[in-house]
Amino acid sequence: MEPTSAPRPDPHVSRPGSSADGSAGPEANLAACHVIVHTHWDREWYLPFSVYRRRLVGLIDSLLLTLEREPNLRFHLDGQMALVDDYLDLRPERRAALARAAAEGRISLGPWYTLPDEHLVSGEALIRNLELGQARARRFGEPMRVGYLPDQFGHTAQMPQILRLAGIESAVLWRGVPASMTSDVFTWEALDGTSVTAVHLRGGYNAARDLPLDPGALGARIDELVEEHRRGNPHGPWLLMAGDDHTPVPNGLTTALEQAGAEHRAVLSTLEAYLARRPPAGARWRGELHSAGVANVLKGTLSARFPLKLRHAALERRLERYLEPVYTLSELPWPERELGYCWRQVILNSAHDSICGCSIDRVHEEADERLQRAEAMARALWERLGAGEGVFNPSPFEREGVPPLGVARVEPAPEEPADALDLLLEDCPDHGDEYTFDPPEGAVPERRPLVGATFGRRPGEPFTRLTIELDNRRPNHRLRLIVPTTTGAGAWAGVAFGAVHRPFRRAGTEPGVEFDLPTDPARLWVDAGGTAVFVPGPFEYELLEDGIAITLLRCVGWLSRDVLRNRPVPAGPQIATPEAQMLGRHRFELAVYRHGGDWREAMVPRWAEVFAHPLVPAPAVPLRPGPREDDPAVLMSALRRVDGRPQLRTYRCAEPWRIETRWL
């Protein structure tokens, strides 16, 4: 969608204000430039968590000392509370000092627990991440009321609605904004029209890094930054992000700013203070932001270490659709601590450098260990329920004679062999890295018929299930499943809490800072030309002239490479990642659904729900009747207890695209 150039009033968004406005000091009211001193803290990336945490301890130790020496210093802790927990694990005696700094508005708290990727985790996981971050923040003070999204590789269409559900009315973001967006302040609408005020970090979260301490040089640098920002914000005030990846606390910047001879007055400030004084929105945008027009979106992360993403999604579903609903409908005590432990592992793995598969091998080994611990806890919780008779239905509608979210003594319909579908495998060399697909010049993908897969159908299901088992013995290539269909009208794809339409486009259609690859993210399903493909989790797809390509494996040996044809600048340090070659055996379960009518008429989201959430052996504990949803477009996100009360969250995967949370 193209943005409009003229601002329009937004009745849903008020200018945010909080105690942080006052804590930024009265001088913020007069400032032309709001300088946000911060660090962007990748908890694990090109070094393991243990190394980064040692550095984090030094950083926050230094921060607390500097706050005492420089009373006007404000510091932004990257919008994520995991940093505070990681620090206090080793420095529990500094809790009071952090709480005091938070109470004085000198450090920010939350709202996230970790900065998640938005395409590769479930919508419910995004909500739980915000809930955990805000709950942890409230133990120290008030959470920051800004949706800080500084480094995510694009933004999902329903994020404004998700933020609003958390009481957040504004967002600050960088990647994904198209070049056609000329205003750095715009109204960002979710699919249902819910909106937040968005501030685009046009120069990135590090645009004002390494500010000089010499007053004359500092003044000149501030004026230079203002001129760079005028393109999207002609009249100010301007937001200057003074920090970068793992940068330390600057000493003396407060005094230097007071003495700087800049034409435009600059003060240390907070994001909330800036949002309260920002210029009016100059444009409007609805839906996802996934353009490489002005910043890399690094689409190769959608498929790097794909099997790890599928395991993560399976754990999300086990928590969201099996464990929590069954315990909610039972008379058993709510296992708060055990479920909280499982969710914390999911949320730690949701961090963008973790779930995206774009870190060193040791990081992903530790992510695998977190999954193993949470999976073991989830198994123990299910075993605690005992083994009953019949099957449990995890859906809010009847399936195979089993009531919604209930149990029945029936035998699940067996899967029967089905005729093989006419599918292909495509293999192409990939000399890129974990961030970017980059075939050698002149490389031509090789196609061959899919052989060795098993195909099956179950009574009552209109789709064909297929299982593909692969033994990957080759490095440096991408392997995709090709499902023939027509694609000229584009595709609809499932996303967190909804679906989006994307047109067919050829590679390189949109100019940008990296080559425009026409691969896109989907969740559970994608549909084009009367053919839907189901995958039990997030996945990468591309519309080809003759079909839908689903990436199964992308095998590379580098975290980032310094020189690629498809990306002119590095995305990180050039470090070998041999485990990202994905050598060995892999198993993939998918389904293909050929249908008449459009995706709504064919109830594609509901059938994808059936595919991804099988009936399972029933627990022994008796269950109260579960809620029922007769609208085939309404899907369940969660059924849980909150403060002892049953809470149901659903969303409509069609107009009006509404997420609804209600008490039962």
**pLDDT tens column, 371-424:** 999 999 999 999 999 999 999 999 999 999 999 999 999 998 899 999 999 999
CA distances 284 to 182, 327, 418, Å, are 11, 43, 49
Whether 9 shows a pLDDT value over 50: the answer reads no
Alpha-carbon span 444 to 154, nearest angstrom: 29
> Is it true that the peptide bond before 92 is cis, omega within 30 degrees of 0?
no
Residue 210 a catalytic site member: no
Q: What is the DSSP letter of 396?
A: S
Q: Which of 362, 370, 363 is nearest to 344 (CA)?
A: 370
The full set of domain ranges for the chain reads: 20-286, 302-397+608-663, 416-493+503-591
* pLDDT (average), residues 437-443: 96
Name the H helices within 175-319.
215-229, 253-259, 271-277, 306-317
Q: Between helices 49-69 and 82-90, what is the axis angle to 10°?
A: 90
pLDDT of residue 81: 98
| Per-residue pLDDT, 143 | 97
For residue 84, give the nearest of 37, 144, 126 by alpha carbon: 144
HSE, CB side, 13 Å, CA atoms: give it for residue 530: 5
> Which pLDDT score is estimated for 73?
96
With contact defined as beta carbons under 8 Å apart, do 289 and 37 qualify?
Answer: no
CA distance 345 to 323: 16
**pLDDT > 90? residue 175:** yes
**Alpha helical stretches, state H, 305-436:** 306-317, 324-329, 336-349, 352-355, 361-384
The encoded tokens of residue 345 equal 């592992």
* Cα–Cα dist 220/205, whole Å: 20
Q: Which pLDDT value is given to residue 16?
A: 32
The two beta strands, 266-268 and 416-417, are unpaired
Lowest mean pLDDT among 60-69, 252-261, 350-359: 252-261
Torsion of CA 126, 115, 49, 64, to 10 degrees: -130
Looking at residue 367, the DSSP 8-state letter turns out to be H
- Amino acid in the structure at residue 285: W
Residue 118 is predicted with a pLDDT of 98
**Cα-Cα end-to-end distance for the chain:** 38
| CATH-assigned architecture of domain 20-286 | Alpha-Beta Barrel (3.20)
Give the residue from 560, 572, 566, 557 showing the smallest Cα distance to 517. Answer: 566
Superfamily of domain 416-493+503-591: Golgi alpha-mannosidase II; domain 4 (2.70.98.30)
Contact in structure between 240 and 225 (CB atoms under 8 Å): yes
Contact by Cβ (8 Å): 585, 470 = yes
Helix axes 361-384, 336-349, angle to 10 degrees: 160
Contact 263, 11 (CB under 8 A): no
Q: For the segment 319-353, what is each residue's pLDDT rounded down to a tens digit?
A: 999 999 999 999 999 999 999 999 999 999 999 99
Number of alpha carbons in the 13 Å side-chain half-sphere of residue 153: 27
What percentage of the chain has pLDDT greater than the value 70?
A: 95
pLDDT over 70 (residue 356): yes
Question: 31 pLDDT band (50/70/90 cuts)?
Answer: confident
pTM exceeds 0.85, yes or no: yes
- Decide if pLDDT at 177 tops 50: yes
And the tokens for 288? 């996802």
CB atoms within 10 A of CB 371: 18
* Overall average pLDDT of the 243-270 stretch: 93
More confident residue, 505 or 21: 505
Query: What fold is seen in the domain 302-397+608-663?
Result: Substrate Binding Domain Of Dnak; Chain:A; Domain 2 (1.20.1270)
Return phi, psi of residue 85, to 5°. -65, -40
Residue of 125, 550, 575, 551 lying closest to 305 (CA atoms): 551
pLDDT given for residue 409 in this prediction: 95
Task: Name which of 138, 132, 612 is nearest 339 in CA terms.
Answer: 132
Q: Beta strands 424-429 and 238-242: pairing type?
A: unpaired
According to DSSP, the residues that pair with 284 across neighbouring strands are 187
In angstroms, the CA 492 to CA 533 distance is: 11
Lowest-pLDDT range, 26-40, 131-145, 575-589? 26-40
Per-residue pLDDT at 296: 96
DSSP 8-state secondary structure symbol assigned to residue 321: I
**pLDDT band at residue 262 under the 50/70/90 scheme:** confident
Locate tokens 């409009």: which residue?
A: 4
Q: Which amino acid is at 464?
A: T
DSSP per residue, 193-204: S-EEEEEE-TT-
CB 637 within 8 A of CB 320: yes
Q: Give per-residue pLDDT as tens, 582-629.
A: 999 999 999 999 999 999 999 999 999 999 999 999 999 999 999 999
Classify 220 as helix, strand or coil. Answer: helix
pLDDT category of residue 19 using cuts at 50, 70 and 90: very low
User: CA–CA separation, 361 vs 578, rounded Å?
Assistant: 7
What tens digit of pLDDT does each residue of 489-500 get? 999 999 999 999
Over its C-alpha atoms, the chain yields an Rg (Å, rounded) of 25
C-alpha to C-alpha distance for 545 and 552, rounded to whole angstroms: 19
Q: Are 537 and 310 in contact (CB under 8 A)?
A: yes
Q: Out of 42, 86, 117, 151, which one is annotated catalytic?
A: 151
Tally of CB atoms within 10 A around 459: 9
| DSSP letter assigned to residue 579 | G
Q: Identify which has the larger pLDDT, 257 or 412.
A: 257
In the predicted structure, residue 235 carries a pLDDT above the cut 70: yes
Residues near 491 by Cβ (< 8 Å), separated by ≥ 6?
501, 502, 504, 526, 527, 528, 541, 543, 548
Alpha-carbon span 16 to 33, nearest angstrom? 18
Query: H-helix or E-strand containing 591?
Result: strand 584-594
How does residue 25 score in pLDDT terms, banded at 50, 70 and 90? low
Please give the mean pLDDT across all residues of the chain. Answer: 94
pLDDT band at residue 15 using 50, 70 and 90 as cut-offs: very low
pLDDT class of 24 with cuts at 50, 70, 90: low
Instruction: Count CA atoms closer than 13 A to 430's CA, side-chain side.
Output: 28
What pLDDT score does 261 carry?
83
- Is residue 22 predicted with pLDDT exceeding 50? no
- Helix, strand, coil percentages, rounded to 5, for the chain: 30, 25, 45
